[in-house]
Amino acid sequence: MLSKKNLLKNPSGDEGLQFWDLVENGGDGWKVEDIPGGCGHKFAPDICKYFVTSFSLCLKRQVIDLLSHGFAAEHLDDQPMVKIKDWYSGRTDCGCTYQITVCLLDENREVMQRFKPKPITLDPATDYCAWQPISHTFCNYGPGLRFISFENGGRDTKTWKGWYGVRVTSSSVEIY
């Protein structure tokens, strides 16, 4: 079975924070806002909402059970490509940091392969803070894939009370 559909539920916050585990909910915590939001940037016309972080670290996670999505163990053991993509942006008036960690997990939820780039800092005085994609394709990770953990988030860099941190939307996990 191939999945060219997004395996993440509620990838853009249309259902609030439903389906996401709040790993870190610092400062004023996570919030969902309408695009473009205050001091924000436009995005694709069919995406209307985004998640936004606060002044202390905010991380949210979703763990995908691939067998419950109808994938056969034999197919997963053939190591299909796993493509992930996320979109993040900052505000025009406050800097932020963005981070992402995606792990391929075996049946015991042990990490088989990890994508964890260094945190990205956006400063509106020097950086392009409009919506930017980050993506990665997993391959050659060995047999045994059963779960995928997708975690993203960040914070603002000025510790302003409220929701001035990184904005994330349209997260996706697909199997090819």
pLDDT in tens, 167-176: 999 999 999 9
In a domain, 15, yes or no: no
Beta-carbon contacts of residue 132 (< 8 Å; ≥ 6 apart): 87, 88, 89
Cα–Cα distance for residue pair 123/125, rounded to 1 Å: 5
In a domain, 4, yes or no: no
Count of structural domains, the chain = 1
In a domain, 5, yes or no: no
pLDDT tens per residue across span 58-99: 999 999 999 999 999 999 999 999 999 999 999 999 999 999
Give the pLDDT confidence score for residue 2 in this predicted structure: 53
In a domain, 61, yes or no: yes
CATH, residue 119:
2.60.120.260
In a domain, 67, yes or no: yes
Q: Domain range for residue 134?
A: 21-175
In a domain, 13, yes or no: no
Can you give the pTM of this predicted structure? Answer: 0.95
In a domain, 126, yes or no: yes
CB 85 within 8 A of CB 135: yes
**74 sits in which H/E element:** helix 73-77
What is the percent of the chain where pLDDT is above 70?
Answer: 98
pLDDT greater than 60 at residue 18: yes
pLDDT tens per residue across span 136-162: 999 999 999 999 999 999 999 999 999
pLDDT greater than 60 at residue 52: yes
pLDDT greater than 90 at residue 128: no
Write down the mean pLDDT value for the chain: 96
Cα–Cα distance for residue pair 165/152, rounded to 1 Å: 13
In a domain, 142, yes or no: yes
Segment 98-125 mean pLDDT:
97
Give the pLDDT confidence score for residue 149 in this predicted structure: 98
CB 152 within 8 A of CB 59: yes
